[in-house]
Amino acid sequence: MLMKRALAETGLDMSGMTVLTEAATGAYAVTPVLAAMAGAKQVYAFTKPGRHGTVTDAKRETFEIAATLDVADRIEILEKISPEVLHSVDIVTNSGHLRPLTAALIDQLRGDAVIALMFEAWEFRREDLDIEACARRKIRVVGVNERHPAIDVFSFLGPLAVKQLHDCGLAVLGNKIALLCDNDFLAPLLTGLTNLGANVETFDSVAAVHPGAWEAFVVALQPTDSPRIGRAEAAHLAACAPDGAVVVQFWGDVDRAVLAANGLAVWPPQSVGQGHMGILLSEIGPEPIIRLQTGGLRAAEWVRRGGAVTEDGFAQLVPWPEVT
């Protein structure tokens, strides 16, 4: 089973710990179950209705998995988080139903509690949690090294981009693709696309793109406060592309209205949340999610137990800002 293998490969051990995470649906239903499988004495899983399912859906899917692994008795699903729960937890995950982690929530945590970011530290989004409150309380926010051999989520990024291109009607094989990337996603994305036979040229900014017979612009630009593709950028891409080119939003916010006004198609067709990826890892199966969630818990567990943070280890720290 994928979950047991992920636990064995990472060495996740949450014995004696209390964890607050989410109860979600689909592949994300595994998170509280993984914590319980790793020996957590109590797992609180908060849920609420969302676009991926109802409260009933989340409860059912979580307990269906937990029951088969005989850990359901240590998972409690919550629709409201009490101060007593917050006072008791060792680890809180930066998970969808819990976000944003507000100052009011953070101020209720013990001083030795740890927040599990659940992705790499450099991908931190300020809208997810109040980092100033964490700095004031000295609450550590722990990213996970997704490139650690026991986790290796980055190897799924190339197949994920290929899935997006297939979904929007491109074969990848033989397609001429401009890959716009200014971050550490570059190498796995380039490898994944070229291994499938795409003709790829890379650019670290929209301004660097030159005219060509581009069939797609794959955008993987680190989000900022404003869209990475706004009015000026959309006009530049339109000037560089033939009719029918599509802008594929892998990561990095884009202004869909100005892209459409410039005659460019956008994939995915629906808008995604600010700062979020245009496709979920779960779109290519449960394994990358299981690896990522196990790794996120392992990184936080490591720091909570006093482990040293090293470049090649599981854990990364989000730096605290200066607070007055």
pLDDT digits (tens, 9 = 90+) for 261-305: 999 999 999 999 889 999 999 999 999 999 999 999 999 999 999
Number of Cβ within 10 Å of residue 98's Cβ equals: 22
pLDDT at 57: 96
Residues 150-174 have a mean pLDDT of: 97
pLDDT band at 182, cuts 50/70/90?
A: very high
pLDDT at 27: 94
Tell me: pLDDT of 244 over 90: no
Tell me: pLDDT of 52 over 90: no
Residues 197-203 have a mean pLDDT of: 98
Residues 223-232 have a mean pLDDT of: 95
pLDDT at 250: 98
What is the domain partition of the chain in residue ranges? Answer: 2-151+284-317, 169-267
**pTM given for the model:** 0.93
* 230 HSE (CA, 13 A, CB side): 7
DSSP code of 220? E
Distance separating alpha carbons of residues 114 and 23, to the nearest angstrom: 19
pLDDT at 172: 98
pLDDT band at 142, cuts 50/70/90?
A: very high
pLDDT at 202: 98
Tell me: pLDDT of 323 over 90: no
161, 175 contact by CB (below 8 A): no
Residues 27-32 have a mean pLDDT of: 97
Which class does domain 169-267 fall in?
Answer: alpha beta
Distance separating alpha carbons of residues 263 and 157, to the nearest angstrom: 28
Label residue 155 left, alpha or beta by phi (over 0 means left) and psi (-120 to 50 means alpha).
alpha
pLDDT at 273: 85
Which class does domain 2-151+284-317 fall in?
Answer: alpha beta
pLDDT band at 50, cuts 50/70/90?
A: confident
CB-based burial label for 184 (10 Å; 0-12, 13-18, 19+): middle
pLDDT at 169: 96
Q: What percent of the chain has pLDDT over 70?
A: 100
pLDDT at 51: 79
